[in-house]
Structure 1
Amino acid sequence: MKFKALFFASLFLSAGCSSQAQFNKTKLGKVLEKVNNQAGGLSESEIANGLKEALRVGINNGSAEASKTDGYFKNQYIKILFPPDAQRVEQRLRQLGLGNEVDRFILSLNRAAEDAAKKSKPIFLNAITSMTINDAVGILRGADTSATGYLRRTTNEQLYDSFYPVVDSTLNLNEATRYYADLVNTYNKLPLVQKVNPDLKQYATQKAIDGLFVLIAEEEKKIRKDPAARVSDILRRVFGQAGQ
């Protein structure tokens, strides 16, 4: 009988201790949260707003850089050159004295990309409005270009659909499509060469998109690493905290 009394008493005390521990844990959590907030801790909504602001800054700067004259052509990191499977065409044609025609084609290719980049901003901004808090928290804790990666995942298809007709139109306007077809067809007539497809519009469109993301990624890295690039209070708070 005495054993049973001791057993039930121990159960009661155990349950009481458990409840007290749970209570203390809840109180401790609230205290820690309060201290964190007083120390400059950020809510999830603030993190989301900061990430969206960072993307807006990156998009504005990246799009402006890409769409200006020579934005692609004079940037060695995003300049569009002959397609990889056609680089042997370029080499051979230069050997044949057609260097001016090759240079004119490459310039026209980059002009098409610069024109297409002007269409990018509304597509990017629409993607930002769809960003969830979970997306934002993951991006903040991710790699230096996590936000750019998010944009690429959510906008590449729409960008392609928007860029393609612009690239097509500009290539036709500059006669780059004809230049390329003429160059490739000239090359294809040479003896003992591997034939190359003279259609380049898909290649040019995707390269234009890739170049734009290169510029936006650079802007994102600046915001994450350089306090001077954090041009608003929310950027300073979010990325200042992230760097601590």
Structure 2
Amino acid sequence: MLASSQQRNVARRASALLIGSMLAIGLGACAEMSQIVQSGAASSQTSESALVRGIKESLELSSVRAADLLSAAGGYQNSTRYRIRLPESVQPLASRLRQFGLGSQIDQVEKLMNQGAEHAAVEAKALFVNTVRTMTVNDALSIIRGNDTAATQYFRGRTEAELRQRYQPIIRSNLQQIGFYDQYDKLLSAYKQLPLGNKPDLDLEQHVLNRSLDALFTQVGEEEKAIRKDPIGRGSSAIAAVFGR
């Protein structure tokens, strides 16, 4: 009888020890799981932060390099790709004007158009950088999943309307400073006196604005492609961590 009572006491103590051990293990596992969850959340936040930082750096580099290239002396004028010429609709007329001895005036007008675009490109950098700094995580995710110029497409969609509004007075101001309108008026005056019918409109200011912006975004896209192709050589370790995956 006594032996049986002692056995029951031993069994109770063993059961209590077992339950205590299980509770301790369970609590420890919960604490460990909590740490894993917290660590995972922190890792996710770090990953998102690195993603956004890499995308922003890539876009800022692309836009600044494009603006620097085109704002340099001859950036438009000496470029076989981006040089701004008279509109296509005016080219046949330009040939006729050259026949009337106005070739030098046409060349001077085109030169000043390109210089105006080069001067305006200097002002574009600040607008580009400010836009890059407002980028969100969702913006960055859509870019990393996109094609070779996804960042440029995002950039153009977000900036072109505002850039166009702010760029136009910049273009106009710079064209005024370099004497474009004086040359343009001389050309128009001679043009109006020519015995030609069906003369096209020579509104060149809007033409310069459109061509200069097209060239700017095209070059941003070229810079982006180069960075994606060689993220370390053309970018940085932060960019390589994103595009090198």
Q: Secondary structure at the match of 1:56?
A: helix
Q: Which residue of 2 aligns with 1:52?
A: 56
Q: CA deviation at 1:184?
A: 4.0
- The structure-2 alpha-carbon separation of the partners of 1:194 and 1:228, relative to structure 1 and needing over 3 Å to count, comes to farther
What letter matches 1:229 in structure 2? G
Deviations 1:187-209 (A, max 9, x none): 34434532222332122122211
Task: State how far apart, in whole Å, the 2-side matches of 1:204 and 1:181 are.
Answer: 16
Q: In percent, how many aligned pairs have the same letter?
A: 37
Q: Is structure 2 residue 100 aligned with structure 1 residue 96?
A: yes
Question: Once superposed, what is the RMSD of the aligned Cα atoms?
Answer: 2.4
TM-score under structure 1 normalisation? Answer: 0.76
What letter matches 2:239 in structure 1? L
Structure 1 contact 79–110 (Cα < 8 Å) conserved: yes
Q: Which residue of 1 aligns with 2:190?
A: 186
Segments of 4+ moved more than 4 angstroms: none
Q: Which residue of 2 aligns with 1:70?
A: 74
Q: Is structure 2 residue 121 aligned with structure 1 residue 125?
A: no
Q: 5+ residue gaps in structure 2?
A: 1-32
Structure 1 contact 177–200 (Cα < 8 Å) conserved: no
Q: Secondary structure at the match of 1:156?
A: helix
Structure 2 contact 231–239 (Cα < 8 Å) conserved: no
What letter matches 2:82 in structure 1? I
Q: 5+ residue gaps in structure 1?
A: 1-26
Query: Paired residues, what number?
Result: 206
Q: Is structure 2 residue 156 aligned with structure 1 residue 152?
A: yes
Task: State how far apart, in whole Å, the 1-side matches of 2:78 and 2:180 are.
Answer: 18
TM-score under structure 2 normalisation? Answer: 0.76
Q: CA deviation at 1:73?
A: 0.7
Deviations 1:157-181 (A, max 9, x none): 2222222122112222333223334
What letter matches 1:209 in structure 2? L
1:215 to 219, 235, 240: 219
